[in-house]
Chains A and B, each alone.
Chain A
Amino acid sequence: MKLTLKIWRQKNAGTKGSFKTYQMDDVSPKMAFLEMLDALNKKLVEEGSDPVAFDHDCREGICGSCGMYINGHPHGPVPAITTCHLSMRYFKDGETVWIEPWRAKPFPVIKDLIVDRSAFDKIQIAGGFISVNTGAAPEANSILVQKRNSDEAFDSAICVGCGACVAACKNASAMLFVSAKISQFALLPQGRIEAKQRVRAMVDKMDELGFGNCSNTGACEAECPKEIKLTNIARLNREFYKAF
């Protein structure tokens, strides 16, 4: 099939970018979206022009590297998947596809579709951990956890840190991301001990980095490739009030 791609091109953080148009003439519906971009890049390099830079690694939806805003959706129009799992069979022959980088003040564009997501690491560094030294852990089964809590903690812990929640949110809020980590630890007895310090440190850092405020719109939940739920944000709020 034939596609018209409108891709954001920006040489580096310091320069202005713009959209460039590319024609793709033989896209197979069996390709994955990133493979379609690989094909474009092959063509571009062979012509001697600069290929489109984008983050990607595992290409199986778990590393969280890839992420682009495709036709108004982070990770494209199909719910619950990352860009690398997006198949070209979801696009129509002759369609125009707009591809933009994540847009948020704390995620500056580094080049083309690559943004700097180190703000997420900074939030995790602020408090996304349980303070236990190697070798200091008690026997694993001495910590009992209700199965329900453990399962729920897992459902929160599967966040891949791709940033789609921030990209989708009209306010560029990172609440879903932060709440997923807070929830995981809040639900486990191991995590309760430093729950107060953790939630305050992570929320402070989130605010400091310039993310927007949550207005419970729910775009984050709708676009999250791992289907992290808004209930996590409510739990984050509760945990935060408990820390007063």
Chain B
Amino acid sequence: MSKILFSSITKKFVMALAGLFLLTFLPVHLFINLMLLKSESEPFNTAAHFMATFPLIKIMEIVLFGAIIIHISWGIFLQIQNWFARPVGYVSRNKSEVSFFSKFMIWTGAIILTFLIIHWFNFYFVKIGLVKGNPEDFYGMAHSLFKIPVYNIIYLTCFALLGFHLFHAFYSAFQTLGLNHRIWSPVIKIVALVYAILIPAGFAIIPITLWFFR
């Protein structure tokens, strides 16, 4: 049994499940973030407060962190194995016809992780008291961050890369779970595309609006 648990396919299965779970978290986060566009701070802060205190959400938070850790650590582990699988590379660049970003998941993933860490420093660590700040006024903190152009550029770039990551991830997770179907797989690809555009675009609207239109 231990062999089957640590098989390459099992690892990928776990990674795909974790990834899919993370996919469900993004729309929730986006929904709350969009309240940043309101001129008063109350709805956003209430939502943030709710997310920080509601027991079920607290449990989900643990699951979420679990998923992030598994997704990232298995991702890195599998990638290292992959590098070991080709100790001597080719001189001519591979020209196989594949979607460009599927080749760079580890890199888009790494950049997203970097952003995540910045994000934690800015908010999450404030909430749990590791970093100084006012956990009751995330609205104000967000607004002041979006006033920094460099932050906005980093933010937008990261979300663009998130989009590329999501597009391959969405389809890929289904394939890894063994869900490949003559009719449904093309549909999944379209949904993946829509999802991979809408979610990052939704997040991007906030700094763009605040930066250029306020």
Contact = CB atoms under 8 A, between A and B. Distances in A.
A and B touching (Cβ–Cβ under 8 A): yes
Interface of A: 6, 19, 69, 71-74, 77, 98, 100, 103-106, 168, 170-173, 200, 203-204, 206-207, 210-219, 222-223, 230-231, 233-241, 243-244
Given A103-B88, A210-B85, A73 B13 contact: no
Interface residues of B, number: 42
B85 A105 contact: yes
A212 B86 contact: yes
Nearest to A164: B96
Interface of B: 3-4, 7-13, 78, 81-82, 84-99, 102-103, 105, 168, 171-172, 175-180, 182, 185
B82 A213 contact: yes
Contacts of A207: 7-8
Contacts, number: 132
B87 A217 contact: no
A204 to B, nearest CB: 6
Among all A-B residue pairs, the 9 with the closest Cβ atoms:
A234-B180, A212-B85, A238-B178, A171-B82, A72-B95, A237-B178, A219-B96, A172-B85, A212-B82
Contact of B102 (A212, A215, A231, A241): A215
B78 A230 contact: no
B119 to A, nearest CB: 26
A72 B33 CA distance: 45
A233 B9 CA distance: 10
A233 to B, nearest CB: 7
A103 B87 CA distance: 8
Contact of B105 (A73, A98, A204, A215): A215
